Amino acid sequence: MISSLKFAELGEEYYSRIKTQSLENTHLIHVNKALKAKLELNLSEKELLGVCTGEAKLDGIEPLSSVYAGHQFGYFVPQLGDGRSCLIGEANGYELSLKGAGTTPYSRGADGRAVLRSSIREYLCSIAMKGLNIATTEALAIVASDTDVYREHVESGAIVTRVAKSHIRFGHFELFASRGQTTEVKKLADFVIDHYYPQLKGKDSYLQLFKTVIFSTAVMIARWQAQGFAHGVMNSDNMSILGLTIDYGPFSFMETYNPSFICNHSDHQGRYSFERQPSVALWNLDRLANAIRSLIDETHLKDALAEYEGFLVKEYSALMRQKFGLVDVNEDDSKLVNDYLQLLYEHKKDYSISMRLLSKDSNNMGSDFDSWFERYHQRLDQEKIKPNQRKQSMDSVNPKYVLRNYLAEVAIRKAEDQHQYDEIETLFNLLKKPFEEHEEFDSYTKEAPEWAKNLELSCSS
């Protein structure tokens, strides 16, 4: 049921074998049952707890932590690695990664732990992103414990079991390239092609792989931008070779619309602000290009990178057009869209709420928006699509429920202070299907209450 890791076949250059370190008095606080079924894990709750704490002995499979490098806030760090995560095996072709199961050779003096707060945030955001059709690592379960973990305050240790076909990052390539180990770079590229993109085998396979990474990254970023997601720490070691959203830290869904929104309060320069995400991803792809230039001709790399913007704009425009219910192409459409966004900015409106309201027949945004809505409704009158069909299409891309920080915070406090996990369950179910109405949960669509207006998110997790 849990099988050995393909990644292990790469050899010891790529990872270290580790032993997980136990937490005190562990228990499962939530399990993603649909994911458990997809992984074909027919385990009792007790057996699953064993797997998700790293305590279960899995025949002949030893956990490993991989080594990588990366550009953090623009600066190259020659060696990073899984400092608090390890791969414990595969289930139905997906890697299982425990985050918070103890130190590894890459912990760099840190404790190898994850706190309950950040584990709940990662768990909920993983399902939220999936619900929004944004490529992401998934999360199978959260384990809570009584072990103290020291951050700004004493918190409790937890483990998220993260799931992805592969956890390989741009930084894995950067590590070997920076050491001049071109054979290892090639072996890693071959591994990715063999196991994840076998259709690319043959002529130009490395260039095709790079183009695929560019495309999937562009699509992922376009969807982040359309849905108002800010990652917060887009270092090149946090960029997945499969184009998955990975390493949830101080992420945030943008609430009040502001393109220069910065969610990570340690990001003083705003390097990873919301509007810079598209260009930062390209910068990271350029770092990847540099790392694989032993495999691909320089001009081909450049030409491939030049395609990024087109991929991104195409995906973003298509999504934004659907969000606004625009089917027939009209040359004034982008102005119409941008004028709305500008109004949201000027009047400090909530992004998701304002987008969801577009499918209502009238202006629900206040009199400042009257003239814009007049233009908008005139524009919609030119469309051939039936209004009810249009509404259905718009509501299938404008979420009613997003993971607002205060909603996560309420669930976290309830879990921390009262050991009650029902709020996690409620949010999990709403975020799994964020486009559905669930009228009885309307209060979960509200903007942050006063107490939560200035919640600060740091990298500390």
Residues in touch with Mg ion (CB under 5 A): 238, 247
Partner touching 32 among ligand AMP, Mg ion, none, CB below 5 to 8 Å by kind = none
- The nearest distance, CB 149 to ligand AMP, in angstroms, is 8
- The nearest distance, CB 320 to ligand AMP, in angstroms, is 30
Q: Quick check: 12 and 106 in contact, CB under 8 A?
A: no
Stretch that binds ligand AMP, among 105-113, 183-191, 222-230, 437-445 (CB under 6 A): 105-113
Task: Estimate to the nearest angstrom the gap between the alpha carbon of 304 and the chain centroid.
Answer: 24
Site track 249-268 with ligand AMP (rule: CB under 6 A), x = hit = x-------------------
Contact call for residue 80 and ligand AMP (CB under 6 A): yes
Q: From residue 413, how far is each of 208, 239, 356, 378, 418 by CA, in Å?
A: 47, 30, 29, 47, 8
Q: Which residue is nearest to Mg ion (CB)?
A: 247
Distance (Å, whole) CA 95 – CA 163: 6
- The three-class DSSP label of residue 326 is coil
- The nearest distance, CB 272 to ligand AMP, in angstroms, is 11
Q: Quick check: 351 and 342 in contact, CB under 8 A?
A: no
Where is 360: in which H helix or E strand? none
For this structure, is 237 an active site residue? yes
How many residues of this chain bind ligand AMP (CB under 6 A)? 17
Q: Quick one: which of 135, 145, 140 has its CA closest to 113?
A: 145
Partner touching 249 among ligand AMP, Mg ion, none, CB below 5 to 8 Å by kind = ligand AMP
Stretch that binds ligand AMP, among 16-24, 111-119, 289-297, 450-458 (CB under 6 A): 111-119
Residue selected from 71, 84, 231, 356 as contacting ligand AMP according to rule CB under 6 A = 84
Contact call for residue 64 and ligand AMP (CB under 6 A): no
Distance (Å, whole) CA 31 – CA 97: 15
DSSP characters over 405-455: HHHHHHHHHHHHHH---HHHHHHHHHHHSTTS--GGGGGGGSPPPGGGTT-
- The nearest distance, CB 197 to Mg ion, in angstroms, is 23
- The nearest distance, CB 83 to ligand AMP, in angstroms, is 2
Residue selected from 4, 79, 107, 393 as contacting ligand AMP according to rule CB under 6 A = 107
Contact call for residue 111 and ligand AMP (CB under 6 A): yes
Distance (Å, whole) CA 277 – CA 222: 9
- The nearest distance, CB 247 to Mg ion, in angstroms, is 4
Angle between helices 333-346 and 308-324 (to 10 degrees): 80
Contact call for residue 128 and ligand AMP (CB under 6 A): no
DSSP characters over 223-242: HHHHHTEE-S---GGGBBTT
Site track 221-250 with ligand AMP (rule: CB under 6 A), x = hit = ------------x-x--x--------x-x-
Partner touching 113 among ligand AMP, Mg ion, none, CB below 5 to 8 Å by kind = ligand AMP
Residue selected from 30, 71, 113, 162 as contacting ligand AMP according to rule CB under 6 A = 113
Distance (Å, whole) CA 224 – CA 278: 9
- The nearest distance, CB 109 to ligand AMP, in angstroms, is 8
Tokens, residue 17: 């074998």
Residue selected from 54, 63, 81, 228 as contacting ligand AMP according to rule CB under 6 A = 81
Please pick, among 237, 247, 267, 350, the residue that the annotation labels catalytic. 237
Nearer to ligand AMP, 54 or 249 (CB): 249
Partner touching 110 among Mg ion, ligand AMP, none, CB below 5 to 8 Å by kind = ligand AMP
Q: From residue 310, how far is each of 33, 108, 314, 325 by CA, in Å?
A: 38, 40, 6, 22
Q: From residue 61, how far is each of 6, 54, 387, 412 by CA, in Å?
A: 11, 11, 56, 33
Q: Which residues bind ligand AMP (CB under 6 A)?
A: 80-84, 106-107, 110-113, 233, 235, 238, 247, 249, 459
Q: Would you name the residues annotated as active-site residues?
A: 237
